[in-house]
Amino acid sequence: MAQVTVNPQGLEPPPASEPKPVPHPPARPTHPRPPAAHPATATPKPPPKPPIVVPPVPPPVAVVPPLMPPPPAHPTAPPPPAPVVEGAVGEVSPLPTGIRVTFGSGSSDLNPATAEALRRVARDSPGGVFTVTAFTPGKPEDPSTPRRLSLDRALAARSLLINEGIPSTRIEVRARQFGPGEPEGPPDRVDVTVAIPAK
């Protein structure tokens, strides 16, 4: 019979082979995260600032330039003196506050006596207010002609007053046609009355 030789070492299981390491991809570099601050030592955040409110800009105030004084008015030249006609019809009679001067029919001429009477009234009342009211007989068929004649008589008396220094602003002129409702007196006349302003 054949002899069987058993190797005891051959009956043992072969030693397990060590596993080969699996290669891993290289790790990506990462930035180190700063350590979290401890709640007790963390710096408190400042409170949020309130929004800045810009007040509305008021509209600009209109600047009104100062009023300039009006330029001085040029003195108005006095009217030419009324013509004085020697021999012209006319008389002078007194009134309670002035004088009455008569004229010839259809005429506005002053004679030396009536002209001097008007000048005297102006000299006697330099601060007075004068009213010159002229009358002329009316003509229903031609009212414009008597009106012009009445105005010519009033302006003749006014020019004498102005040339004696009475301002035109203190002379009121009225031209009327003589008729019903007018003061009694000659129809061809000028009544000059003076009022002295109260002080």
Query: According to the model, what pLDDT value does residue 67 have?
Result: 65
Query: According to the model, what pLDDT value does residue 31 have?
Result: 55
Query: According to the model, what pLDDT value does residue 56 have?
Result: 72
Query: According to the model, what pLDDT value does residue 93 have?
Result: 97
Domain range list for the chain: 92-195
Q: How confident is the model at residue 159 (pLDDT cuts 50, 70, 90)?
A: very high
The more confidently predicted of residues 45 and 93 is 93
pTM of the model: 0.60
The more confidently predicted of residues 102 and 179 is 102
Query: According to the model, what pLDDT value does residue 65 have?
Result: 62
What CATH architecture is 92-195? 2-Layer Sandwich (3.30)
As a whole number, the mean pLDDT across the chain is 80
- The model's pLDDT over 45-85, given as tens digits with 9 standing for 90+, comes to 777 777 777 667 667 766 666 666 665 555 567 788 788 99
Phi then psi for residue 118, to 5 deg, are: -65, -40
CB 82 within 8 A of CB 160: yes
Through-space distance between the first and last CA atoms of the chain, rounded to whole angstroms: 185
- The model's pLDDT over 99-122, given as tens digits with 9 standing for 90+, comes to 999 999 999 999 999 999 999 999
Nearest to 161 by CA among 128, 189, 187, 184: 128
